[in-house]
A and B are shown apart, each in its own frame.
Chain A
């Protein structure tokens, strides 16, 4: 497959070209944040840093309509009503630009939930088929990055349609899927210099450094499950806000609520966070996860124990399991109180080794 070349000065023009055929979500700088925005004229896509939020929004919008309903009064007997339901409109084809390899891997983990585990979610499925990822390979690791702990890497190809590598004057674009190839078909082939630089980059990828052996993590988690003092200490700083879960590329929990005005309304699906006490609060007032400690435990457990125990390790028996975490580090970087999920996992491992 030939690498194509996208010159930095052509980035906006190329983005505009994509935006003609697709809904293009491109990262732009706004203050301290880098956010995905639907394409608008004069926009400057910013590929210099990982976006603040993951591109999950493209596949699983923060709120979406599951159905609409309308009540109609019976004119014969005004105390009687009839209800009519309507299905949501299908999604439009979308291209997401400027995500990172860790984010692209998140797509696989979302697939596990919405396509593979049991019931197929048709809304997600449609969006999933309709969405292409143009990923930027990472040149270096930030100090919150740990993609290599969970089976990824700064140039991991998993989940992407096109992978961009920074080279002199722009990007070498490598198509990874047929759809990705079509996306970059109009770009010129990369020149010899760019080809060479790309080859060099692929030959000696950014070295992420050593990663701890996490094979015991699921087991260690279960061993520590009932040690509430441990979880209390790990979670004492937690504010129970939704930063970690909302920015996460793999967190997929949602709430379903009805919103109505007058005789019409919608049933909405909205991102939810397991860090909130209301997440598991039952009508009776009983709450199985009553404290921050319980809730943080669930988040760590889901990512590093429940998910890996449900799905086979990609490397076969005895290999490192698949975690429901891509190591993007957003939950660490944006946490107001610097809760570090890496530290919690390491504490679990250390705790397990103590006699």
Chain B
């Protein structure tokens, strides 16, 4: 029931704000019980379609920059709010044209994980209660421990409550995750250099250059004037070779240095399942170590690569090393 109350509260808040807005971006049920899809809410009927549950994986802040100039409302989870904060830090969003409906979130599904235990195409219904995910299949109900199918980012989530919101809908949630241990990175870095290189070679050989990773990224604001598509300068050729595919991923990671909030949309959007978030996590780990900085947490903070100190605490003078 509490869930119904929360949706009622969200709808009421949306309807209250709608007269001042062009529309509200929220979630509705997608083509099956495990998929949500973003919708534009313009009226009461649309508002009736709003949902919020662990299938609401998309980061709606991705549309913010393209919708600049419009007055819109945005439904955000804790992690999504970090993208909004980062956009505010970079002055890429007009806060006064934006009404944020913040929903504390206790984790979203990673369908890749669900897929390893059930064939998601056969799921007829899904219910999310406490620590469980109950899936209705033709042969009966299948109950999964929630932690087993949550996205990795949720397992280490320290910001379940939106950091900016005009309407906070529902009870705040205690963060589950402790400090990020980067166990995945540690695991990967046990590999030698050549093995790592070969790992990426194999992964990137699946890439189809659809640029879903780029277009799903809330901070890739260049979109169709991206350097990847530019003929002058000609960073990338149009050949579908590993070289070009790989250089794009490197470019994406470098252009997100100090900006990426690890919403994970790049990796989630990849139709070929290439683990590209790892690259961004590496950069973030190093940024944390050198600058004790985390992107998208403080709207007033200056991103570390936009500034400098005359004497850097943690950067050694390379010339003296050898």
A-side residues, CB < 8 A to B, are: 30-33, 35, 52-53, 61-63, 142-144, 232-233, 236-237, 239-243, 245-247, 255, 257, 259, 268, 270-271, 273, 276-278, 292, 332, 334, 336-340, 342-343
Q: How far is the CB of B221 from chain A (nearest CB, A)?
A: 13
Contact of B30 among A142, A236, A270, A340 (CB under 8 A): A340
Known contacts A52-B271, A338-B30, A268 near B208 by CB under 8 Å: no
Q: What residues of A have a CB within 8 angstroms of the CB of B241 in the complex? A: 63
Whether A239 lies near B216 (C-beta < 8 A) is yes
Contact with A along B27-44 (1 / 0, CB 8 A): 000111001111110100
B268 at interface by CB-CB < 8 Å: yes
**Contact B238–A270 (Cβ < 8 Å):** yes
**Does B240 lie within 8 Å of A63, measured CB to CB?**
yes
| Cβ contact within 8 Å between B272 and A144 | no
From residue B270, how far is it (CB to closest CB) to chain A in Å?
8
Q: Which B residues contact A (CB, under 8 angstroms)?
A: 23, 25, 30-32, 35-40, 42, 58, 62-63, 66, 112, 115, 121-122, 202, 206, 208-212, 214-216, 223-224, 229, 231, 237-241, 265, 268-269, 271-275
Q: Is the CB of A259 within 8 A of B32?
A: no
Cross-chain pairs A/B with CB under 8 angstroms, 15 sampled: A35-B206, A35-B272, A62-B208, A63-B239, A143-B32, A236-B40, A242-B211, A243-B210, A243-B269, A268-B239, A276-B229, A278-B229, A338-B30, A338-B36, A340-B31
Q: Which residues of chain B are near A63, meaning CB under 8 Å?
A: 238-241
User: CB-CB < 8 A to B23: which residues of A?
Assistant: 236
Point out which of A63, A143, A247, A255 has the most chain B C-beta atoms below 10 A from its C-beta: A143
Q: Please, how many angstroms separate the alpha-carbon atoms of A332 and B120 in the complex?
A: 14
Nearest-neighbor residue (CB-CB) of B223 within chain A: A240
In the bound assembly, the distance between CA atoms of A255 and B25 in angstroms comes to: 34
Residues of B within 8 A of A270 (CB): 238-240
Top 6 nearest A-B pairs by Cβ distance?
A336-B269, A32-B273, A242-B210, A338-B30, A142-B121, A237-B38
Chain A residues closer than 8 Å to B215, beta-carbon distance: 239-241
For B202, the chain A residues whose CB sits under 8 A away are: 30
CB distance from B134 to the nearest CB of A (A): 18
Give 20 new A-B contacts, CB below 8 A, not counting A53-B208, A268-B238.
Answer: A33-B272, A52-B271, A143-B122, A236-B38, A237-B37, A239-B215, A241-B212, A241-B215, A243-B212, A243-B271, A247-B271, A259-B237, A270-B238, A277-B224, A336-B265, A336-B268, A336-B269, A339-B37, A340-B31, A342-B31
- In the bound complex, residues from chain A placing their C-beta under 8 Å from that of B39 are 233, 236-237
A55 vs B148: C-alpha distance when bound (angstroms): 34
Contact assessment for B63 and A236 in the assembled complex, using a CB-CB cutoff below 8 Å:
yes
Residues from chain A with a CB closer than 8 A to the CB of B210 are 241-243, 245-247, 273
Please pick, from A31, A143, A144, A241, the residue contacting B273 in the complex, using a CB distance under 8 A.
Answer: A31
B273 touches A246 (CB 8 A): no
Given A30, A142, A332, A336, which contacts B212 in the complex, CB threshold below 8 Å? A336
Which residues of B are found within 8 Å of A31, using beta-carbon distances?
A: 273-275
Q: A63-B239, A143-B122, A239-B212 are in contact. Are A340 and B37 (CB under 8 A)?
A: yes
State A268–B39 Cα separation when bound (angstroms).
38
Taking a contact as CB atoms under 8 Å apart, the answer to whether B208 and A276 are in contact is no
Cα-based distance from A203 to B31 in the complex (angstroms) = 31
A52 contacts B238, C-beta separation under 8 Å: no
A246: chain B residues within 8 A (beta carbon): 208-210
